[in-house]
Chains A and B, each alone.
Chain A
Amino acid sequence: MEDTIFEELKASGNLPTPAGVGMRILQLTRTDDYELDEMGHAIMTDSSLTGRILKLANSAAHAKARPATTVSESILRLGSSTVRDLCLAFSLVSERSAGSCSAFDYEGYWSTSLARAVVAQALSGRLGIGKPEEAYICGLLGDVGRLALASVFPDQYSAILGECLDQSPTCCLSKEKESFNIDHGQVAKCILEDWGLPESFAEAIQQSATRRLLEEGETVEQSLTGILRVAEGLAEILAADETASPVVWKRLGVQFEHARNALGMGHKVFEAFVDGCIGEWINWGDSLDVGTHPQRRVVDLLRLVEERGGETQEEAKPAPKSASTPKPASKSAQAPAKPRPMVAEEEPVHILVIDDDPVSLKVLEMQLKKQGYKVTSCANSPQGLKIALDTCPDIVVADWQMPEMDGMELCRSLRRSELGKRMYFLLVTGKGEKDVIVNAFDSGVDDFITKPVLSEVLSARVKGGVRLVRLQRRVDHDNRIMKRQVAELGVLTRKLRATSLTDPLTELPNRRYAMKRLESEWSSTLRTGRDLCLVMIDIDHFKSVNDDYGHDVGDAVLKEAARRLKAAIRTSDEVCRIGGEEFLLICKNTAEDEATVVAERIRSSMADERMAIPGFDRDLTVSLGLAGYEPKLKSFNQLMKLADEALYAAKEGGRNRYICSADLDSQNEAA
């Protein structure tokens, strides 16, 4: 279900993706048989990336070994797949630009994600669970689902964020499901799988997203999921804004205590541990240009919890979303982000003038200002190019003959970028150059004007450009509206499709969906050789429930059965309602004998506890038939048939049990 929805998210083109070197590495390592050298070379082209990989290879976990100084050593030490995954994660961080969702706190997101990475890494090392670098990656990418949803649905996500203000992130889950039919935990899982990261990462991230906050008295699960859950709580505290409301600070204080308890650490030990994490976080923040709170330590956090958490709502200062007080400040926070400028139609036209002769430059500037345009001037062409790409003027007026880079070359460079393609380019030429002007149009110049530049002529030529600018702005505006409408349409379509693939009563996927899914899993199995197991489930004596208690009770029973089924299966399993009282469980990557564990769990969840339905005083049981993939099978229908036969055998054998197709075979052979 979520796969089809995810495909549509991908089609929007707005999902966060690793860019630059990260993208190259993603492409390089799509299949498993890539050359380590190639990956190493790709990494080395990016000095900051190299630095970060080395930093991680030399982190505390590997302190005893001789320091690694080359990329190859790092690959040997960390493992090639870990290095690959790190590259993807780092490139996502470094390529980030301001996003389009107004209510989403992008800087805070990265600050928290980095904190989560650092804490997870430390916990992994300390508790000896998994590899610290893997925990680091999962921490860094843990919340990518929310980033993705905010990028694909900026307006709707802003609304959801508004509704969940001050709440913990799990609050968003149900709202996301409502609006997009997918929640951020699932999106994160899909993205990680899409990038080829290990399934264990993807599942751990999804798990921790859906069961985030530690309860009182919980201890840490000895797994990646467990680490991530603790790391999540601590990361939120580390990155929290001073100006957050008392409700938030109170919650954070509670989280802090739960984390300490879960880890079984005394106060002093725990505080030292957290301070260590803070130090690492600040360190990494500098390296990745992600904002942190360099002045804050645990003592400060505890004080904030006391003071701010203790305030009542009336005493509390208002906490604006875009806080004016120090937020985690990153160095690039001063530089403006680089989204395509969305200029209103009525705004004055912006013209950039470039000429190395200061007198001509000044005269041009004055001429244009007099005509009412907003003018920037620059006497140096390489710098002019940079200014153009940074500030996106509507029109560029440049002299042809300039040292370092002439006007035509400047135009050609400009046209190579997406932003530069949209600017109207006016070239200023000398009298004698008219013959060569034909070349100007090849290099992308829109029009030319000869010196000496008369004000009236300049005005006329510029007006031509302005007309195009206005048209462009209108087109941009319409495009923005259309994009929004298309996105909304997409959501509606998805909802519609979901409805046609969903059983309305139990809200499980229906038979139509089951068959599609089965077909896809079947080809996947044929292709990759991975296991596949089907479990046919049938509620025993269901007909008599309807007969004896009526259809209302029957429906309630089905709903409860569906709920128990969902609770008993694993995240990689999917259960569908394919008939009146018939269900099909698809277990991918699972062999028949493994699936028996799930089957037993299901059987007992039905039989051991009576359903609490008013008026219903019967015990309910199910029969199950399992069939695992075998090469001798020619189609998934045959597999279904085997499962069906096993189910039949279970019924015949007395119900409230599961039978494996393999056992049937041996029984038949023995007979």
Chain B
Amino acid sequence: MTGTPSQFPFEKHVHGGCANAPVLRESSILELLTLGGEGASELLIELVDLYLEDSAVRMAEAQGGFQDQDPEQVSRAVHALKSSSANMGAIELSQLCANLEAVGSGEELTPELLAKLEGMHAEVQAALRELRASYSA
């Protein structure tokens, strides 16, 4: 499936949540598609699958860390999530992960923070699933 990026039907799928802030940054997805070259859609699907699988594991770890009020466990869990989210264009989520990495004490691990993390992650997952669907056709 070759062609100029404007032919790719993803724009409508990456906008979610707040109307001004897309969940997935266009340029990142574009980069991934360019990287894939001839097999652009295959690569994208592969990456989305990898992300969905891996991020679920990291999130579970992070949730555990919140429960145990263990900042180190949270930090470890979100470190990888930070990089992979950035790769997939989920910049806000990546930023949140960066902040969480720096958390020093257990008290800062509030339920509100966890909710924010889970919420953002859920949004990213949804956006990616939609993206994937449009390329699997």
A residues contacting B by CB (< 8 A) are 356-360, 362-363, 366-367, 370, 399, 401, 403, 430, 432, 451-452, 455
Contacts and interface: CB of A to CB of B under 8 A. Distances in A.
B135 interface: no
Nearest to B48: A359
A399 B50 CA distance: 18
B50 A455 contact: no
B32 interface: yes
Question: Which 6 A-B pairs rank lowest in CB-CB distance, beginning with the nearest?
Answer: A359-B84, A357-B80, A358-B50, A366-B35, A360-B83, A357-B84
Given A359-B50, A370-B35, 11 more contacts: A358-B53, A359-B51, A359-B88, A360-B83, A360-B84, A362-B43, A367-B35, A430-B83, A432-B98, A451-B83, A455-B31
B86 interface: yes
A357 B88 CA distance: 12
B129 interface: no
Contact of B83 (A359, A370, A403): A359
Contacts of B51: 358-359
B36 A362 contact: no
Range of interface residues on chain B?
Answer: 20 to 34
B35 A358 contact: no
A357 B86 contact: no
A148 to B, nearest CB: 53
A452 B85 CA distance: 11
A370 B35 CA distance: 7
B87 interface: yes
Contacts of B47: 359, 362-363
B87 A363 contact: yes
Interface of B: 31-32, 35-37, 43, 46-47, 50-51, 53-54, 76, 79-80, 82-84, 86-88, 98, 102
A451 B86 CA distance: 9
Nearest to B37: A370
A359 B35 contact: no
Contacts of B46: 362
Contacts of A430: 79, 82-83
Given A357-B54, A370-B37, A451-B86, A363 B32 contact: yes
Nearest to A358: B50
B35 A363 contact: yes
A357 B79 CA distance: 9
Given A359-B50, A401-B79, A452 B86 contact: yes
Contacts of B50: 358-359, 362
Contact of B76 (A363, A366, A367, A403): A403
Nearest to A454: B31
Nearest to A403: B76
A357 B35 contact: no
Contacts of B53: 358
A256 B32 CA distance: 70
A217 to B, nearest CB: 76
A399 B79 CA distance: 12
A360 B37 CA distance: 18
A360 B87 contact: yes
Nearest to B51: A359
Contacts of A362: 43, 46-47, 50
A401 B78 CA distance: 12
A366 B84 contact: no
Given A362-B50, A451-B86, A452-B87, A356 B80 contact: yes
A269 B23 CA distance: 86
B84 to A, nearest CB: 4
Contacts of B36: 366
A653 to B, nearest CB: 98
A506 to B, nearest CB: 77
Kindly name the residue among B36, B50, B79, B87 whose own CB sees the greatest number of chain A CB atoms within 10 A: B87
B35 A455 contact: yes
B38 to A, nearest CB: 11
Contact of A359 (B31, B54, B76, B79): B54
Nearest to B84: A359
B61 to A, nearest CB: 11
A403 B73 CA distance: 12
Nearest to B91: A452
A366 B43 contact: yes
Kindly name the residue among B36, B53, B54 whose own CB sees the greatest number of chain A CB atoms within 10 A: B54
Contacts of B98: 432
A179 to B, nearest CB: 56
23 contacts: A357-B80, A357-B84, A358-B53, A358-B84, A359-B51, A359-B83, A359-B84, A360-B80, A360-B84, A360-B87, A362-B43, A362-B46, A362-B47, A363-B35, A363-B87, A366-B43, A367-B35, A401-B79, A401-B80, A430-B82, A430-B83, A451-B83, A452-B86
